[in-house]
Chain A
């Protein structure tokens, strides 16, 4: 009986040490905190800054698109690792809307900005500004991403203005791709470390 009481106390101490607001935060934003998932996407984006590293086409498809598709496939595959190791959470809606609606909106906005960049050659890199704005919004008011993504958004917004200091659009786009990818890699690793550290070691099994 004494042993049960003591064990119970230890369990309480262990769980009480977990701040409840962080429990809510990590559960509500479970997929966004799985940092290793964005590593393949980061690599795929980073390679956009070095277009000569890849052949122009792979199986008749633009190699840059293939790289991005591989990045998103990697995102899904790494998700399986987290699911296997840390379990599965079905998240609530994204800012009051289903996640697919949010992603569809972001995709359409990005596609529209790409068309503007390619067709009208505006004095700033509009697609870059759209991505920066999305990152800033996701990191700050909604807090789905950790705060440092706001800093990444600021860096990306500044890079998007490169044409204003006389750099050609192509150079700005390449530099943007490289830095965006590199920053995603760093942030992803930091997300993963924070994620893993959050979970306490499992209790010894006595069953």
Chain B
């Protein structure tokens, strides 16, 4: 692994680091479950975009999605998995480490 902080930045997990997904994961880390409408209002994303992000997170094992009917209305509830919480924590630790390294970083002088 490179010691250059900017190269490490490129190696961050894109599944977590993408801003919309990071917003979703941050919200889910602060609650037990949240429904689709809440996540949509929180991120401002369209239904299609939010569904796409949630599917990716579910495929990555970071969240679980439960669908149920309340009367005739379909309700989608999303929860973060234990693995998801660990990965988000690791992601924040990585970012913090890279930030610290970046503040100490000095460009190499060419002779």
Contact = CB atoms under 8 A, between A and B. Distances in A.
Partners in one complex: yes
Interface of A: 11-12, 14-16, 18, 20, 23-28, 30, 85-92, 199-207
Interface of B: 18-20, 22-23, 26-49, 77
Contacts of B47: 205, 207
B31 A201 contact: no
Contacts of B26: 20, 23-24, 27
Nearest to A82: B38
Contacts of B29: 24
B20 A12 contact: yes
Contact of B46 (A15, A200, A204): A204
The 10 closest A-B CB pairs, nearest first, are A87-B38, A87-B37, A200-B44, A28-B30, A27-B30, A90-B32, A203-B46, A16-B19, A24-B30, A90-B33
24 contacts: A11-B19, A11-B45, A12-B18, A12-B20, A14-B43, A15-B19, A15-B20, A15-B23, A15-B45, A16-B19, A20-B22, A20-B26, A23-B26, A23-B42, A24-B30, A27-B27, A87-B36, A89-B35, A90-B32, A90-B33, A91-B32, A201-B44, A202-B44, A203-B45
Given A90-B31, A199-B44, 11 more contacts: A23-B30, A26-B42, A27-B28, A27-B42, A87-B35, A87-B39, A89-B38, A202-B41, A203-B45, A203-B46, A205-B48
A87 B23 contact: no
A88 B34 contact: yes
A87 B42 CA distance: 10
B43 A30 contact: no
Main secondary structure of the interface of B (DSSP, over half): helix
A150 to B, nearest CB: 22
B48 A207 contact: yes
B31 A92 contact: yes
A52 to B, nearest CB: 44
Given A14-B44, A199-B42, A27 B31 contact: yes
A50 to B, nearest CB: 38
Given A28-B31, A207-B46, A87 B41 contact: yes
B99 to A, nearest CB: 14
Contacts of B41: 85-87, 199, 202
A202 B23 contact: no
B43 A15 contact: yes
A88 B37 CA distance: 7
Contacts of B38: 30, 86-89
Given A23-B23, A24-B27, A203-B49, A88 B44 contact: no
A26 B31 CA distance: 10
Contacts of B46: 202-207
B93 to A, nearest CB: 15
Given A23-B23, A24-B26, A87 B40 contact: yes
Nearest to A199: B41
A140 B40 CA distance: 30
